[in-house]
Amino acid sequence: MKGKKIDIIDAISALAREKDIDEAILINTIEDALKAAYRRNNQVQSTQNLTVRLTRKEGVQVFARKVVVEEVEDPETQITLQEAHAIRSDYHLDDIVEIDVTPDDFGRVAAQTAKQMLVQRIREAERGKIYEEYIEKEQEILTAIVQRVEPKAVFVELGRTEGIMESSEFMPGEVYREGDHIKVYVLKVHGARLDGSRNPQVYVSRVHPGLVKRLFEMEVPEIAKGIVQIRSLAREAGSRTKIAVYSTDPLIDPVGACVGPRGMRVEKVVNELKNEKIDIIKWSPDPAEFVANALNPAHVMSVFISEEEKICRVVVPDQQLSLAIGKEGQNTRLAAKLTSWKIDIKSETQIQELFEEQGIDPGMVFDDEPQDWEDYTEQEYYDDSAEFADFSGGMEGDF
């Protein structure tokens, strides 16, 4: 390339703007590429003493940096004092001399090598930018387009990269088709794929509880502003979710804010989750009240708590025992996850029978093991419709 006066600086600047890459990165890339090309075409063992300069005046130049010595042992890195004086008369021993070694026929092969490395570095830089963009989206929600569906995974388009949703992250009963637009939760981002390629890989989910939380943040302005807080959330994806909310403003009802006018806010969330049932309850710092709320839609008569064992004994009317337990124990299971308390539910008749068998005054606390009764404190709470919204067939509206 010697003598070939190309405006390479302008070319680099234009490419940097087009690819949105730091110009300094591209210059360093071209310099490294030209060093590699020079070494390959001139049988040079190392490029450590080589310097590449890119200027508008001279284009591309390659210089070898050599140490001035009395006797040369390595011609690639050393030069005699006599040879140095032929270049400039003021050189002394141990000085560094820069010699222009740019071949006249640097040529097509060297240019092709430089081009290949430049393309490679540009791709790496773009991958790095993509990784940085998506690593900031971990635990966030994105809109994805289904690209292809396989038995063990669904691949989705996320904009600048591809995401993968493994079968364990499929929502039960949900069918995915190419072209579908779905909301997904970003689980993790890897800088390199497991198949050996270097493109960033984004793993997404449709079953993570965080998906429900982010959907409510999108639909409820009070949550986005921090006025209403999601204190706890328990989910069995595709079936039912319980969410406990709290308002920092006493004038704002947290349950009503999440439901929205005519149920429009929660309806959008339910539609995105393919009609997954959602129970919205009012969070309380009092564990007995919180557990009573969490068991809605069942009416709770009394709650007995043991702080040491982290257990709640709950009494419900006879006709609501099945409702409190839920299908296959789901209501109790989700309430326990939501509150982080173990929950034991008994009907009013079961409690009375237990008291009669043990000869216990109904005013006392209960347990299947009488010696532990004194460890429990009784607290009574009753359903408050303002504290709960059931989106499974009532609320009391079926969304």
Domain containing residue 188: CATH number: 2.40.50.140
Is 123:55 a contact under the CB 8 Å cutoff? Answer: no
The verdict on 247 and 347 lying in the same domain is: yes
C-alpha to C-alpha distance for 55 and 94, rounded to whole angstroms: 28
Among candidates 281, 279, 307, which has minimal Cα distance to 293? 281
The domain total for the chain is 3
The verdict on 171 and 243 lying in the same domain is: no
Residue where a domain terminates, one of 129, 162, 177:
129
- List strand residue ranges (DSSP E) for 101-200, in order: 141-150, 153-157, 162-166, 181-190
The verdict on 174 and 222 lying in the same domain is: no
User: 104: domain CATH number?
Assistant: 3.30.1480.10
The verdict on 306 and 190 lying in the same domain is: no
Residue 238: predicted pLDDT: 93
Is 292:300 a contact under the CB 8 Å cutoff? Answer: yes
DSSP 8-state assignment for residue 171: P
Q: What is the pTM of this model?
A: 0.70
The verdict on 186 and 231 lying in the same domain is: no
CA atoms within 13 A on the CB side of 260: 18
C-alpha to C-alpha distance for 280 and 230, rounded to whole angstroms: 10
Structure tokens at 346: 């008994």
The verdict on 162 and 90 lying in the same domain is: no
Q: Helix H segments across the chain?
A: 8-19, 23-42, 81-87, 107-135, 209-219, 221-224, 254-259, 264-272, 287-294, 321-325, 330-339, 348-358
End-to-end CA distance of the chain: 71
Residue where a domain terminates, one of 152, 183, 207:
207
314 in a structural domain: yes
Q: Tokens 């943040």 correspond to what residue?
A: 217
The verdict on 156 and 221 lying in the same domain is: no
332 in a structural domain: yes
pLDDT digits (tens), the chain, 399 positions: 444 444 567 777 887 787 777 788 777 877 787 777 777 777 666 667 788 877 767 767 788 888 989 888 888 788 998 888 888 889 899 999 888 887 776 656 556 766 777 777 778 778 888 888 899 999 999 999 999 999 999 999 998 889 999 999 999 999 999 999 999 999 999 875 544 456 788 999 999 999 999 999 999 999 999 999 999 999 999 999 999 999 999 999 999 999 999 999 999 999 999 999 999 999 999 999 999 999 989 999 989 888 888 898 899 999 999 999 999 999 999 999 999 999 999 998 888 887 777 776 655 544 444 334 344 454 544 444 334 454 543 333 332
The verdict on 67 and 159 lying in the same domain is: no
Residue 398: predicted pLDDT: 30
Residue where a domain terminates, one of 177, 207, 237:
207
Residue 51: predicted pLDDT: 82
Q: In what order do the strands lie in the sheet with 240-247?
A: 228-236, 240-247, 277-282, 388-391
Q: Which domain holds residue 199?
A: 138-207
The verdict on 330 and 367 lying in the same domain is: yes
Residue 111: predicted pLDDT: 63
Residue 323: predicted pLDDT: 94
The verdict on 274 and 287 lying in the same domain is: yes
